[in-house]
Amino acid sequence: MKFFDRESPVGSLMGEALAFGATLALSSIGAFYLGKYLDGRWGTDPWLSVILPILAIGGSFYRFIRRILANSGE
């Protein structure tokens, strides 16, 4: 069963939005747990568990904007 056609503008946009959501969620959760682990190991609690997810969210937005601009032909 085909949910959306990636060749159509709507399908392409839907695919980008789904990829962005997944990237944002997984990278921020992974960065939080990595920061929590490193905070416990290095005694820097809570700094790395705060800073790493912020960097992950920024990286997700950067990747999303780059992909949208690449797909729009600019």
Angle between helices 9-42 and 47-72 (to 10 degrees): 160
Tokens of 8: 């159509």
Residue from 59, 64, 27 nearest 35 by CA: 27
pLDDT over threshold 50, residue 73: yes
pLDDT tens sequence across 4-59? 565 666 667 788 889 899 999 999 999 999 999 999 999 999 999 999 999 999 99
Look up the pTM and report it.
Answer: 0.80
Distance CA 57, CA 28 (A): 6
Distance CA 57, CA 68 (A): 17
Query: Quick one: pLDDT band at residue 2, thresholds 50, 70, 90?
Result: low
pLDDT over threshold 50, residue 1: no
Domain positions in the chain = 16-72
